[in-house]
Amino acid sequence: MLILRCPAQLQLLEETLRKSLPTTLPVLGTVMTVARGNPASHEVLVDSWPNFSIVLTRLRPEDHRDPRDYYTNQLSVFYRDKGALQALLEGTEAMTRERAFQILGMQDGLDQTVQEVASARGLKVE
C-alpha cells in the first residue's frame, strides 16, 4: 500500500471522497486532517494511485505502541471493490495480526467480509 503525503494527492483524494458521501465519511475526516497539518499523526494509505480501490487511514504505527489497545489501533476504510477489502484483510503490510485493532467503515458488506476472513483464519471478531 502507498502512503499519501503529497498535498496535491491528498487534495485530489479529498475531492474524490466527497463525491461518495456519506459512505466515505470515516476516511474523509482523516484525509482532511492530514491535508491540513496532521496534528494527530495519522497516515492515509491507498492500494494504488490515482486509481485506487481502497483507502485506509490509521495512526502512524510508530506513534502507538500498545499492541493490545484496539482504540489506538483504529483503522478506517473505504473501498470501491470488495475484493480489495478482502485482500487487505487477508494480508498486507498495512495491517498486522500482532495487534488488536478496530476497523470502521460505513459500507454494506464490511462486517460480513471481516467475519469471513476471520473465520477462515480461526480468529475471534467482536
pLDDT digits (tens, 9 = 90+) for 66-108: 666 666 677 889 999 888 888 888 876 666 666 667 777 888 8
**Where do the structural domains in the chain lie, given as residue ranges?**
2-121
Sheet strand arrangement including 102-104: 2-3, 42-46, 54-59, 74-79, 102-104
For the entire predicted model, the pTM comes to 0.83
Burial class of residue 87 (count of CB atoms within 10 Å of its CB; 0-12, 13-18, 19+): middle
